[in-house]
Amino acid sequence: MEQIDENLKSSQSFSETTVKRIALFPGTFDPFTIGHESLVKRGLSLMDQIVVAIGVNESKKSYFSLEKRKRMIQELYANNPRIKVESYHILTTDFAKEIGANYILRGIRSVNDFEYEKSIADMNRTISQIETFVLFTEPSLTHISSTLVRELMQYGHDVSDFIPKGIKL
């Protein structure tokens, strides 16, 4: 018991120098959905900070401009200093290192997502030693994807049930 008490005392100085847990949450977020919002909220229970990182893929045609997507997410989290919003044009692991993120946050809706995310997580760990942690999508949100929301918008449907309340499209 004395050993445990001694360890607790010494851990106080350790906690003062503990590395900040920063997770990069990469995606195109075209648009940012309530599924993304749920992952950020749940990720904050595990991390000190989350950087929502909008990856730019020149080969993909976006519905919203990069500037609009970034602004929408920044406005949503304007009052939360633990959430930052950035964009990047480089390899995700290189960007994670550039901003000091030691984790990558990903969400999984289905078995298909799992296979894809596992392959990427394994490669990322191999080339950068950055760990990926995965949160399973809440069951009530598994049908929501940016692709489906974009399709609804293209046909003039109301998508307000699928977009966070603070986002103005």
d(Cα 150, Cα 122) in Å, to the nearest integer? 30
Point out which residues pair with 22 in neighbouring strands. 49
- Percent of the chain residues past pLDDT 70, beyond the cut: 90
21 neighbors 103 (Cβ within 8 angstroms): yes
Q: Which pLDDT belongs to residue 11?
A: 45
Q: Which long-range contacts (CB under 8 A, 24 or more apart) does 63-67 make?
A: 63/30, 63/31, 63/150, 63/153, 63/154, 64/30, 64/31
Q: Which pLDDT belongs to residue 18?
A: 73
Summarize the confidence of residues 84-105 as an average pLDDT: 97
Active site (catalytic) residues:
36, 60, 109, 146
Q: Which pLDDT belongs to residue 115?
A: 93
In this structure, of 11-15, 23-27, 123-127, the range with the lowest mean pLDDT score is 11-15
Summarize the confidence of residues 102-116 as an average pLDDT: 95
Whether cis (ω within 30° of 0) applies to the bond prior to 26 is no
In this structure, of 55-59, 74-78, 96-100, 140-144, the range with the lowest mean pLDDT score is 55-59
Residue-wise pLDDT tens digits, 35-70: 999 999 999 999 999 999 999 988 888 999 999 999
Domain boundaries defined on the chain: 20-154
- Binned at pLDDT 50, 70 and 90, residue 17 comes out as low
Give Cα 29 distance to the centre of its chain.
10
110 neighbors 116 (Cβ within 8 angstroms): no
Summarize the confidence of residues 129-146 as an average pLDDT: 97
Summarize the confidence of residues 63-78 as an average pLDDT: 97
Which single residue is written with the structure tokens 């920063």?
22
Architecture of domain 20-154: 3-Layer(aba) Sandwich (3.40)
Q: Give the other-Cβ count within 10 Å of 169's Cβ.
A: 12
